Amino acid sequence: MPSILITGASSGIGEALARALATPATTLHLSGRDQTRLDMVAAACRESGAGVEPVLLDVRDATAMAAWVGGVGKLDLVVANAGISAGTGEAGVEQPGQTRVIFATNVDGVFNTVLPAIEIMSAQPPGADGVRGRIAVIASIAALIATFAAPAYGASKAAVDAWTVASAPKLRRQGINLTSVCPGYIRTPMTARNRFRMPGLMDPERAARIILRGIAAGRVRVTFPWWMGLAARIGDLLPPGPIGGLLARRRVGGVGPEPEREEP
């Protein structure tokens, strides 16, 4: 029976992944920080026949995360999904406390999830395909270009994307497949508060299908929509002064969620 662990499972992509993976042959270990929403997701997954073990947990708590991940037992798939976003506001300057909170969740929270999982998977016997386990890190297209309206968000996603892609070859030789997921705008409670055009806006259910196909195929990076990822890559090659001024004035979308906070 596959054992799957997902952080930030109470809404958005995390919820969509949990629902998509909920089958009678699956055990889901789900975490979040909103008890009511987490219980609703767990109930829906149980209706689909899955075994569900929800836990209220803050990914920033390294000790609690190590105990949770380490106590699950066998792990076939881990999705480090929990994350938050916030921007510069009208002043155009990011507050120091906000920067630290975003990095603590989006970077430390990912490592608090992934590093214990790697340790567990390394000790597991490989399957028939030679894979001991799979790990997906939810980054963002914002990882591919400097996001001037949300510096800490973009930088934190860039950090975990770069670490995942760089670590993937060595871990693959050990039987652990790493995938960095870089989505564009997804219809979630976070993006629902945006008051601007969001090109390529996608329902979380469709995003979950794309993510799961990429993980199953063993891809190191899954970027979607592809044209938005390409635009971000090209934009990042341009001189930072002019492109930064353009994005700051027009608040151009297409590089990840605009500055709003989402509880993991």
Q: How many Å apart are CA 114 and CA 111, to the nearest integer?
A: 5
Which residues are the active-site residues? 153
Strand order in the sheet with 77-80: 51-56, 27-32, 3-6, 77-80, 133-138, 176-183, 221-224
